[in-house]
Amino acid sequence: MAVAAENQSQPPQNDLPYVLILKPPAAFNIFGDRFFHSPKFQFLKAFESPFPLSQFLLTHAQSVQAILTSASGSVTADTIRLLPHLGLVVTTSQGIDHIDRSECRRRGIAVAGAGTIFSTDCADFAVGLLLDVLRKVSAANRYVKQGLWSSQENYPLGNKLGGKQVGIVGLGSIGTEVAKRLEAFRCSISYNSRSKKPSVPYTFYPNVVELAVNCDALIICCALTDETHHLIGKEVLSALGKDGVIINIARGPIIDEKELVQCLIKREIRGAGLDVFEHEPDVPVELLALDNVVMSPHNAVCTTESLEELRKTVVGNFEAFFSNEPLLTPVPLDDLPHLSG
């Protein structure tokens, strides 16, 4: 057994450069660990080692030149400091809140993400969640499947999306795609972002509370940073009001989840569509029985087509790095964002 354990900790013996994987990305679970295969580099899989991560990293510190991670795999300053030859971190996600950007910037380590690959999928999903909450699609599905149609009174009416006032928090690539889709429903669109965008016709609100006061629905599309953590709390939810709907396809901790749960239970807002949660994969048990909440397991970005694009982008970034060529989707670290957009 000791020999087997020792072998698991050893990297493959060839001349290809090493890419460290601390935790397998979701694509590995779907397509297998050859999904990001390339003849130009090889993976060093820390998650397969029987040894503690710190021991594994100390053993292989001199070999690692790059890291592959995902939204669920943190790349901390402590990890980075153990890897003297680290030059690149590639994440399969659009957000980079799980990477210590300050340490990467200090060390001159490049970061690459998914770029805008997931923007259209996220936008589709956000509008789908909004439609579902307003028209009670998922709740109606349960109503029929439980055999209640023939035994109870008429099903409660929903609300139309057309003509609603919708506020977008973070008018970046995802938020812009959301706005384009809502235009087809003749929605009145407003937004909050780092700054006003002269090129768009939508109303700009520099304050999220003011945005919420003037909206029937809020769609969260911003990046998670120290500034946006719990950006949506009691004050914003109260401003949204009892007829308001909130949709989150960004990051769970942007919303104060405890406050959201209480607002939903007390019907202080109309409903919520949530693809992300504050402590994933744990979901507040109170939400499970609420028909005014539609939930999904952080899969707004998951389509077959986008994952294939992701494969090409991830492999392309590593191959470019090891060939001393420009990265395909570099993330600038000099301007750490307040909001996405």
In this structure, is residue 4 part of a structural domain?
no
CATH number at residue 103: 3.40.50.720
Q: Are residues 27 and 143 in the same domain?
A: no
Answer yes or no: do 192 and 100 share one domain: no
Question: How many structural domains does the chain have?
Answer: 2
Does residue 267 share a domain with residue 128? yes
pLDDT tens per residue, range 177-228: 999 999 999 999 999 999 999 999 999 999 999 999 999 999 999 999 999 9
Q: Which range of residues forms the domain containing residue 70?
A: 18-116+305-323
Alpha-carbon gap, residue 200 to 102, rounded angstroms: 32
Q: Assess whether 280 carries a catalytic annotation.
A: yes
pLDDT 10s digits, 55-97 = 999 999 999 999 999 988 899 999 999 999 999 999 999 888 8
Note if 107 is an active site residue: no
210 is catalytic: no
pLDDT digits (tens, 9 = 90+) for 84-141: 999 999 999 988 889 999 999 999 999 999 999 999 999 999 999 999 999 999 999 9
Statement to judge: residues 169 and 221 lie in one domain: yes
CA of 198: how far to CAs of 201, 203, 204, 264, in Å?
Answer: 8, 10, 10, 36
Catalytic residue among 60, 101, 270, 298: 298
DSSP secondary structure string, 100-146? Answer: -HHHHHHHT-EEE--TTTTHHHHHHHHHHHHHHHHHTHHHHHHHHHT
Catalytic residue from among 101, 194, 251, 270: 251
Domain presence at residue 26: yes
Q: How far is CA 102 from CA 50, 116, 334, in A?
A: 31, 23, 9
For residue 335, being part of any structural domain is answered with no
Would you say residue 10 lies in a domain? no
Domain contains 1 = no
Between CA 89 and CA 217 the distance in angstroms is: 36
pTM above 0.75, yes or no: yes
**Tokens representing 340?**
């996405």
Residue carrying structure tokens 């057994």:
1
Residues 103, 268, 280, 308: which is the catalytic one? 280
The arrangement of strands across the sheet holding 42-45 comes to 42-45, 18-21, 64-69, 88-91, 110-112
